[in-house]
Amino acid sequence: MTMQLNDSALTHARGLLRRGEFTDDERDDWSEHAPTTDQENDFISEHGLAEFAKWHLGEDTEMGEDTKGRYHFPYGDFRTLHRCAVISGESRAGQYKHDTIEKSLKELLDGIDGKSKNHED
């Protein structure tokens, strides 16, 4: 597996953050907030794989560009950036030594926490 940062996804995530389109949730919420396989497939059917890719910070370059399995490290639910997804992704990226992706997720987390009025450390 050769994982690289999906630059267009990072640009998209930064735009969501800038516009305040994020959910300030807790780490464990991602299991409930993550799109289901059916929701992912419906999104791809409606919007295409290129739009699906924008919601994933990692790309496995060994997988074909026309495959759903190419895209990893989701950060939202196709509507908003989710703090819980960012935390989960940052942890996984660190575990597997995907340093650029981990750094990008940390940047997003810091941005969410900086903008959030409801989050308490």
Tens of pLDDT, residue by residue over 3-62, are 999 999 999 999 999 999 999 999 899 999 999 999 999 999 999 999 999 999 999 999
Query: Which residues are 22's β-sheet partners?
Result: 81
End-to-end CA, the chain = 35
Between residues 27 and 100, the one the model is more confident about: 100
Q: Quick one: tokens of 29? A: 């919420």
d(CA 33, CA 76): 8
d(CA 37, CA 48): 15
**Residue 82 burial (C-beta neighbours within 10 Å; 0-12, 13-18, 19+):** buried
pLDDT, residue 120, reads: 52
CA dihedral 110, 115, 26, 88 (to 10 degrees): -30
Long-range contacts of residues 100-109, Cβ cutoff 8 Å, at least 24 apart = 100/4, 100/5, 101/3, 101/5, 101/57, 101/58, 101/73, 104/5, 104/10, 104/57, 105/57, 105/73, 105/75, 108/13, 108/14, 108/17, 108/75, 108/81, 109/83
pLDDT, residue 1, reads: 82
Q: Is the pLDDT of residue 121 over 70?
A: no
Residues 69-94 have pLDDT tens digits of 999 999 999 999 999 999 999 999 99
pLDDT, residue 27, reads: 86
